Amino acid sequence: MAKREERRKALELRKQGKSYNQIKKKVGVSKSTLSYWLRTCPLNKKQIKKLMKLRATSEVRIEKYRETMRKKREKRIRNFYEEKKKQLLPLSKKEFYIAGLFLYWGEGVKGIYNGNVGLNNTDPQVLKFFYDWLTIGLRIPKKKIKVYLHLYSDMDIEEEKRYWSKKLRISLVRFYKPYIKKSTREGMTHKGFGHGTCGLRVSDARVKEKIMMGIKAVADQYSGNLEEMLI
């Protein structure tokens, strides 16, 4: 069984209320792998009671322990969130600009001689930040920014266009004809691909040069020469 199919089967069994041991016997993967796959799928009280009726006392004990640890982890993460929110926000104009440069360094369309400024991602929050960076940080007129979608053949094209339009608050008139992949999402469990991949593009050679030179200035300061990146 391929890993993707194993993960899909494990998630399906978990939703049915199966314990880790029960799933392990059916799927045949290690508990550490199951812990990673099912980390966001705790059993509810009704499902735990069902295990108790089956006299799976050790299973119940394990599930209660996992639930306790999950709650502790969620509380710890919430505390970190509040701590970082106070520590980091609001960003200054300079910090906002630098954050965008690093995002572009990691995800953006490279090549100084390619006049297209663009970024593709499956995460609406990443794209919304990039859109704000373009329009607020770089003062690029909104009408110049175009939207490109990469979707799967089993998707409702118009529905996905509306989804991205709503998430990014960009008019549908700025959406280009989407690229449709021949493959489908069947068996795909990666959450990020649920609405395909969205790309934002603007054609502006001068802006592209400024972005790439900003990245190069930072890179030269901290990690040496990046001539190859600019080819």
Q: Which residue has the tokens 């790309």?
A: 199
Could you list the pLDDT tens digit for every one of the 231 residues in the chain?
457 788 888 888 888 888 777 888 888 888 778 878 887 788 777 777 776 666 556 666 777 777 788 889 899 999 999 999 999 999 999 999 999 999 999 999 998 888 999 999 999 999 999 999 999 999 999 999 999 999 999 999 999 999 999 999 999 999 999 999 887 666 554 555 689 999 999 999 999 999 999 999 998 888 755 555 555
Same domain, 11 and 72: yes
Which residue, 125, 123, 101, is CA-closest to 210? 101
Same domain, 75 and 101: no
Task: Give the structural domain span for 55.
Answer: 3-87
CA–CA separation, 209 vs 102, rounded Å?
15
How many Cβ atoms from other residues are within 10 Å of residue 197's Cβ? 19
Same domain, 8 and 42: yes
As for how many domains the chain has, the answer is: 2
| Contacts of residue 30, Cβ cutoff 8 Å, sequence gap at least 6 | 24
Same domain, 188 and 221: yes
Same domain, 97 and 117: yes
For every residue of 191-222, DSSP letters joined together read GGGTT-EEEEEEE-HHHHHHHHHHHHHHHHHH
* β-bridge mates for residue 77, sequence order: none
Same domain, 46 and 151: no
Which residue, 114, 119, 122, is CA-closest to 102? 119
Order of strands, sheet of 197-203, starting from the edge strand that comes earlier in the sequence: 116-121, 197-203, 146-152, 179-181
Which residue, 206, 204, 207, 229, is CA-closest to 216? 229
Same domain, 74 and 103: no
